[in-house]
Amino acid sequence: MNENDTVATTEIRFGDNDRLAAMVAILLQADALVLLSDVDGLYDMPPTNPEAKLIPRVAFGMDLANLEIAGTNTGVGTGGAITKVAAAASCTEAGIGVVITNADNVSKTLAGESLGTFFEPNPDIKIVRK
């Protein structure tokens, strides 16, 4: 999902692709949402720090307040980890699991390899498929 196309004008601009993707996933009652990044997932500190460690799994309701999560505005996109974590929180609250992974790993992730960070969905929400 990408609103950054040639027909998006300032007047109708949504804001960020992560939040837009999360809202669509919730409306569609998707099985999962995959958010792509230029890093491998969510880290315990900025991924530019050599001591940063990838967080492979985030349990539903896990407190992420102690993490150094920053926003970015790069040539790749806007928002960074802040918007991805917010989008993941919206989806997991609605019972949808979320993966944040590097765009270079998307094929492997969709094939079932455990790459990136998986945000576990709310276990109390069961999405009924029609």
Cα 118 to Cα 114: distance, rounded to the nearest angstrom: 8
Residue 124 lies in a domain: no
CA angle 128, 3, 110 (to 5 degrees): 50
Segment holding 37, helix H or strand E: strand 32-37
- Split into its structural domains, the chain has a count of 1
- 125 lies in a domain? no
**Angle of the 80-93 helix axis to the 17-28 helix axis, nearest 10:** 10
* Full domain range(s) for residue 44: 10-119
Q: Is residue 129 part of a domain?
A: no
CATH number of domain containing 57: 3.40.1160.10
Does 4 fall in a domain?
no
pLDDT of residue 111: 86
Q: What share of the chain is helix, strand, coil (3-state, %, to 5)?
A: 30, 15, 55
pLDDT at residue 112, rounded to an integer: 83
Evaluate whether residue 46 is within a structural domain: yes
* Residue range 60-76, pLDDT digits in tens: 988 888 877 765 544 44
